[in-house]
Structure 1
């Protein structure tokens, strides 16, 4: 009789689950270890996935200990953002949903036998046959569907890591902008204090008749203009700090946080390696996700093996020559391979599959080209910004200090007028502000180099899944 055989097949369906995959996928924080390790390598901070009230309370205590009433560094700001930003916590839920999808697929189909006893025996048999046949069809596709779900799960891991890196980079950038704004406000404040003293002196000289009203008005106007500039700089600094606090997930009483009055001094040399392009190709999470997308399409459309590996650019070793100021600078150049797998598209069951594959392959190739360009631009920006900031620090500011000292000596010796002293003070302020801005731009360029090496903004694709 067929019924015992069909029931046996149904039991076989129930026993087809993959224990190893199930064990990995059902964990509360499945896949999060790779996010933690990737974030530690990329940005030097480790995220936390808060899944309970106890987790949230522990994070709040940790955040309070890190920032409350303290002057925070960029590293501290990034660490707080990675454990306290609610948007990032929400994005981790996508990873949890993906692990749930993998768990369900790995469990395999759950056979159910629904038989109506009111029908004839032949109807019962046909009902059983149809039910078990459907279950056997699910059983036959369990392995490829599980493989596809595993690829999607790895993509979800990369997406979570990309969002973590994006937040870390944005937070560090916000810290630099906030501290740079406070540094500019402090420089204007110092000059404003000197101008107020000069303005008060002008009032005294006016009373004695040693300074006419027009000259007094020039003194007062300069002081008033500096007051307006100082107010604008303070406002910009406060707004920049508020943006930083928002990224860190701070509000209310938790915002009793301070940032330094000035950015760190320039390092001895730019912190960017000459092999930054190679680092980008090896570490970019968007490129890794793109490769997984090709693998997912191959599984979805039953592609059978790679035919070959192709590079988005040929391996070229040579020397790149650039001319600047009449001088030729030789820079060793090495175009590195980024390999893209090509599958046999001949036996594809549909035009849709072929087009999906070609779309993904060309998108990945363009991403690799963009990654190379991002890395080269980041390297040039870091080295160039460092040179500019160092020039302001080592060349311009020493000359400006010398001018200020000589101008003050001449003024005290009554060899120069007040107007010349005011002009020198204004030029000196402009130079100090430009030097501070150049230093800020260098630190921002360093942050962009991190983004160029590790990438981000991975978008999960669910095309082709059923």
Structure 2
């Protein structure tokens, strides 16, 4: 066997020796999910799993079925969404694609070998060639750093998408519970109005009630019917939104919600350092910084490689049945006669400054959003506490006094019913305020780790003539 290596080739291989370890870069085995899994555990106390195989899907289905078999909680809803939401699973696959591209970019280029057999009359000629992309080899360390930073930015982006899904699921859960409770309350109001309308009808038939009084009672009954229908529509809408976020469908979409919203905490959270915390923990800020670093590295890469982007080192051997044997090597280099690369450098610098300004804007928006979220949280808490400690107790005291008057035969049953109607607005508004607090709590939690959807409030079942509310009682 003939040895085709020459001194230049051996020198090139020796020069590439420090990069051989990078050339052996391998996949992590979990699709780059470590960062996302850590974020889920740290910020949510939950787990995430990428569905790659039928076995993975079966494992997820069993866990989801186990959670659905118990009364639903906000944390359970979040866990189901993280496991079962197909849109999130698609993003996990995107992370696997990006990891594969990063590993591919970190590997050494394959050498090339060429063989040519030529014939001219009786003359035979055989050419052998060995080539290696030296330009790729020179740029490999910087390329590896660039792709690693891009992959890290994507990891943070996917983690932020996961946290956003968790926040939206939590808000949808509170909205669905509130709507269930409101629908139940409005069914009770309708039953009471039905009883009052029937009593008024009988009294009118006996001549003890005027047509005007009967019409008023019937009008209240008609309004109660409409309000119950609106509350039922809101119940279905909020439940279906939660179902979509959980990734459920058909018979698999059955789940039981609690009868009422959680009670208001004893005291609100005091966060004087909330902006500093947000700057340190928000994943969108971290992702912007990572993108900025990658862009800076890209600028450096452009400066290094603008003269060697078509540089190759090759070994050639020529043999013929008649001609003398030829050995040697060939180096090709692009001559920067017309394109010196200044336009590419100018573009890279402009892209870098663009990233600088975008990162600054993201930080400004993050500070504003976390302030707005905290103010909304405190305001929602104060409003809900006012309903809990003042408005609802006052309405109850009035109701208790009217019951005493009714028992003493000082007022009629219709005056008692009229008082009950006046309480409907207070009850619905109180439930809505409690729902808004828990939604604001979810927005605040999201604002500390990513961009919250502060503009989207929970769906509300407007109750005509009663102050309405999509919250439940």
Matches within 5 A, 1:112-261: 112-118=112-118, 124=127, 128=130, 131-132=131-132, 135-261=133-259
Measure how far apart 1:27 and its partner are.
2.3
Structure 1 residues 193 and 432, CA, compared in 2 at 3 Å: closer, same or farther? Answer: same
Distance, in Å, in 2 between the alignment partners of 1:157 and 1:223 is 56
Q: Is residue 8 from structure 1 mapped to residue 25 from structure 2 by the alignment?
A: no
Q: Is residue 288 from structure 1 mapped to residue 286 from structure 2 by the alignment?
A: yes
Contact 2:23 2:108 in 1 (8 A): no
Q: Secondary structure at the match of 1:265?
A: coil
Match of 2:442 among 447, 450, 464: 447
Q: Secondary structure at the match of 2:114?
A: coil
Contact 1:18 1:106 in 2 (8 A): no
Matches within 5 A, 1:290-329: 290-302=288-300
Deviations 1:130-185 (CA, angstroms, capped at 9, x unpaired):
x33xx112111111111111111111211220111111111111111111111222
Bigger Cα Rg? 2
Please, what TM-score do these two structures have when normalized by structure 2? 0.80
Residue 464 of structure 1 corresponds to which residue in structure 2?
none
Contact 1:49 1:89 in 2 (8 A): yes
Structure 1 residues 442 and 122, CA, compared in 2 at 3 Å: closer, same or farther? Answer: farther
Residue 86 of structure 2 corresponds to which residue in structure 1?
86
Q: Is residue 376 from structure 1 mapped to residue 377 from structure 2 by the alignment?
A: no
Q: Secondary structure at the match of 1:104?
A: helix
Measure how far apart 1:348 and its partner are.
10
Distance, in Å, in 2 between the alignment partners of 1:229 and 1:214 is 23
Distance, in Å, in 2 between the alignment partners of 1:378 and 1:287 is 17
Residue 38 of structure 2 corresponds to which residue in structure 1?
37
Distance, in Å, in 2 between the alignment partners of 1:77 and 1:163 is 16
Contact 2:118 2:126 in 1 (8 A): no
Q: Is residue 360 from structure 1 mapped to residue 350 from structure 2 by the alignment?
A: no
Residue 467 of structure 2 corresponds to which residue in structure 1?
none
Match of 2:388 among 393, 401, 410: 393
Q: Secondary structure at the match of 1:108?
A: coil
Q: Secondary structure at the match of 2:115?
A: coil
Contact 1:272 1:446 in 2 (8 A): no
Measure how far apart 1:198 and its partner are.
2.1
Structure 1 residues 303 and 362, CA, compared in 2 at 3 Å: closer, same or farther? Answer: farther
Unaligned runs of 5+ in 2: 303-341, 453-473
Q: How many residue pairs are counted as aligned between the two chains?
A: 409
Please, what TM-score do these two structures have when normalized by structure 1? 0.81
Structure 1 residues 449 and 227, CA, compared in 2 at 3 Å: closer, same or farther? Answer: same
